[in-house]
Chain A
Amino acid sequence: MTLLVTDLNVRYGEKEVLHDINLEIEHGLWTCLVGPNGAGKTTFLKVLLGMAPYAGSIQDRGKEIYRNHSRNVAFVPQQPQIPLGMSVAEYVALGRAKIDGWGNESANSREYIYQVLQQTKLLGMQHSLVSQLSGGEMQRALIARALVQEPELILLDEPTSALDLHHQISVLNNLELLKKKGVTIVSTMHDITLAAMYADRIIVMQQGSILLSGSADQVIHSPELKSAFDNRIDVHTLDSGRPVIVASKASRSWLDEK
């Protein structure tokens, strides 16, 4: 079972944002999109949601995804629109809209929402306003809403970028639990070290194209990864065998090139 992307092209007016993408995303795995800013990662994520138009074909279980409402896909944006005056419980409960219909949470759903609030450590603040949450709490509320949605596929745009290391790990662990339940995960991530720790597949994007894709291990140790970042990263391997990607200080900064 795969999500099959064939000859995908996306333009915003004159600008070509995604160019000739051919790719298979396997269900039940965690696929991570990495690459420099402006590589088209977020656009690719939005296209996979099925809302934005595209040229080419993206088939999920053999059906084209554009405006296909039968899929249950959760979307976790990098910068959510914060609804004014909405409580955390209401916000998380929105995730049930597709299962129970809008505003009709069943008793079972409300129990499930309670469990998810517990799991994401939001219990006790379910009556607080979403607009009053800290960055880390907001990210947990977003993840909670996605969990409550019980999606088949979850798309996350930089789920960890606003968080400290402790909260990054807790969010990623929550996602890993989700994957164990069989949910497909596609996320963008700035931190390639974290991506290598959690993702099964890594896709490196550059200027709207796919530079390379493969298992996390293959991609991390390939020379193309360094070239995607203009050779400004170094890959080290810890004694435990875990790869660590750090910015390379030796390389010239972009200021020098001017």
Chain B
Amino acid sequence: MHQSDSIDRIWNWRITIYCVVVLVVIAVIAVGIGPVPINFLKVFKTLLDLPGGATGQDRTVILQLRLPRILLGALVGAALATSGAVYQTVFHNPLADPYLLGAASGAGLGATIALTSTHQNVYGLLPLFSFTGGVLAVLTSFFVSGKFFAEPNSLLLSGIAVGSFATAVQTYLQQRHSDQLRPVYSWILGDLTSASWSVVAWSALYIVIALMILFLVAKQLDGLMLSDEEAYSLGVNPNRLRVIAVAAATLATATAVSASGLIGFVGIVVPHLVRGLTRRVTNRSLVSIAFVGAAFLVLADLGARTLLSPAELPIGVITAFVGAPFFLLVLRNRRKGMSL
């Protein structure tokens, strides 16, 4: 076969391998950086349990403080970036983000209820409250839009309405409990300080399940970029695929939000970055988007905990600081007809 008489492979899996390498390198560097600097080689040896690794206090810092936080950051980043890419495909909208259907406002309301509650023991249930709030908000959006997926735009609009309603209730609660403003506020801007091995474990469970489902249907998602008739003629059941995709993306998003608060822009910046760099839009890049999302958030968290050290910046401030100008760039390019 003569190479020039054929088209190139649509997706080059080498790109995915590069993305994994980038994530691992950033993660190892991030473990080493902090108030107590630790040699990278030592970090590497500790992580792989090789002789010559860190001992004593350094070992505790690596394994009990920094590693769970970095893993949580990676999980949340992967969840938000992948969900963002999936939402953009499902809603034919390059500026769609994982919070589109009210997941963010619902989770925000749930968290605020937990934080402003007078019962101390509810405070510990914050992740559960925000998770439930996020999922309930998305379910309400589905219910209100009525037609399920016959009309993606009506789902989008009901998502906006449900989101506004939840935000209104949340603001009311905040005003009534102004003494709790600060924790609510810092939760809204997102932070990974709650990271512990138990948080990593339960969020990994849900996020990995959700991402596996999305990776399994990733290639078919390209069909959802067409009209329903075209998708059907190519062998996809568009309604069923949309429900699976949105359900899995919502599970990932709600888990990420309940573990780390509202971290914005990851779901928009990362998919566009990967597509822009690889010049491929196809959902075959979903796995790579997940890894780059993970790397992006680990990097952002590194900034959050070191830039103003010993104080912490909310991670949402960093992602928004990078994300907002990027968002405008995408918008501008899109107007010029360059898409992405």
- A interface, CB within 8 angstroms of B: 46, 49-51, 69, 73-75, 77, 80-81, 83-87, 89-90, 93-95, 97-98, 102-105, 107, 110-111, 113-114, 117, 126-127, 129, 131-132, 149, 151, 155
In the complex, which residues 36-50 of chain B have their Cβ closer than 8 Å to any Cβ of chain A?
A: none
Docked CA distance A73–B232 (Å): 9
In the assembled complex, the Cα of A98 lies from the Cα of B9 at a distance in Å of: 18
Q: Mark B220-256, 1 if CB is under 8 A from A, else 0.
A: 1011011111101111100000000000000000000
* B179 within 8 A of partner (CB): no
Q: How far is the CB of B118 from chain A (nearest CB, A)?
A: 49
Could you list some 22 contacts between A and B, CB below 8 A? Answer: A50-B232, A51-B228, A81-B92, A84-B94, A85-B94, A85-B339, A86-B225, A87-B281, A90-B222, A98-B234, A98-B235, A102-B235, A103-B218, A103-B222, A103-B282, A110-B6, A110-B9, A114-B7, A126-B7, A127-B279, A131-B337, A155-B233
B226 near A94 (CB under 8 angstroms)? yes
A-B pairs with the 9 shortest C-beta distances? A103-B219, A83-B225, A85-B281, A102-B219, A75-B233, A85-B340, A51-B232, A81-B227, A85-B339
Give Cα A218–Cα B317 distance, bound, in whole angstroms: 73
Collect the chain B residues with CB atoms within 8 Å of residue A84's CB.
92, 94, 225, 281, 334, 339-340
| Distance, CA A131 to CA B219, complexed state (A) | 20
Contacts of A113 in B (CB 8 A): 6-7
A102 touches B223 (CB 8 A): yes
A-contact 0/1 string along B268-308, CB 8 Å cutoff: 00000001000111101000000000000000000000000
With A84-B94, A107-B6 known, 8 other A-B pairs at CB within 8 A are: A46-B229, A75-B230, A90-B281, A93-B7, A102-B219, A110-B7, A111-B6, A114-B7
Report whether over half of chain A's contact residues are helix, strand or loop; otherwise say mixed.
Answer: mixed
A57 smallest CB distance to B (angstroms): 20
Nearest opposing residue in chain B for A116, CB measure:
B7
Does the CB pair B8–A149 fall under 8 Å? no
List chain B residues, Cβ under 8 A from A155.
Answer: 233
B328 contacts chain A at the CB level, 8 A cutoff? no
Residues on B facing A (Cβ under 8 Å): 1, 5-11, 92, 94, 218-220, 222-223, 225-230, 232-236, 275, 279-282, 284, 334, 337-340
Q: How far is the CA of A131 from the CA of B225 in the complex (A)?
A: 12
User: Is there contact, CB below 8 Å, between B226 and A80?
Assistant: yes
Contacts of A83 in B (CB 8 A): 222, 225-226, 281
B222 touches A102 (CB 8 A): yes
Given A85-B281, A87-B280, A94-B234, are A114 and B228 also a contact pair (CB < 8 Å)? Answer: no
Complex interface: chain B residues within 8 A of A95 (CB): 234
Of A86, A107, A149, which one neighbours B234 at CB under 8 angstroms?
A149
- A77 engages B6 (CB within 8 Å): no
Structural contact, B222 and A94, CB atoms closer than 8 A: yes
Q: Which residues of B contact A90 (CB under 8 A)?
A: 10, 222, 280-282
Chain B residues whose CB sits within 8 angstroms of the CB of A98 once the complex forms: 234-235
A131–B335 alpha-carbon span in the complex (Å): 12
Determine the chain A residues whose CB is within 8 A of the CB of B236 once the complex forms.
97, 102
A253 to chain B, nearest CB (A): 34
Are A75's CB and B229's CB within 8 A?
yes
Is B275 a contact of A97 with CB atoms below 8 Å? no
Could you tell me the distance between the alpha carbons of A80 and B229 in the complex, rounded to whole angstroms? Answer: 10
- Chain B residues whose C-beta falls within 8 Å of the C-beta of A107 in the assembled complex: 1, 6
CB distance from B69 to the nearest CB of A (A): 34
Query: Once the chains bind, are A132 and B337 in contact (CB under 8 Å)?
Result: yes
B232 lies within 8 A of A77 (CB): no
Q: Which residue of B lies closest to A42 (CB)?
A: B229
Q: Name the distance in Å between B248's Cβ and chain A's nearest Cβ.
A: 17
Contact A103 B11 (CB under 8 A): yes
> What's the minimum C-beta distance from B293 to chain A, rounded to whole angstroms?
18
Contact between A81 and B225, CB atoms less than 8 A apart: yes
Known: A80-B226, A89-B10, A90-B10. A111 touches B232 (CB 8 A): no
Q: Which residues of A contact B1 (CB under 8 A)?
A: 107, 111
Q: How far is the CA of A114 from the CA of B8 in the complex (A)?
A: 9
B residues less than 8 Å from A81 (CB atoms) = 92, 225-227, 230
Complex CA gap A110/B5 in Å reads 9
**Closest chain B CB from A199 CB (angstroms):** 21
Contact check, B7 vs A103: say whether CB atoms are below 8 A apart.
Answer: no
Q: Which of B9, B233, B282 contacts A49 (CB 8 A)?
A: B233
Q: A81-B227, A93-B7, A105-B10 are in contact. Are A73 and B233 (CB under 8 A)?
A: yes
**B residues near A80, Cβ cutoff 8 Å:** 226-227, 230
CB distance from A49 to the nearest CB of B (A): 6
Q: CB within 8 A of A131: which of B220, B222, B339?
A: B339
Residues on the B chain within 8 Å of A85, using CB: 94, 275, 281, 339-340
Considering the complex, give the chain A residue whose CB is closest to the CB of B221: A102
A117 to B5, CA, bound (A): 11
User: Smallest CB–CB gap between B93 and chain A, Å?
Assistant: 9
Within the assembled complex, what's the spacing in Å between the Cα atoms of A224 and B9? 53
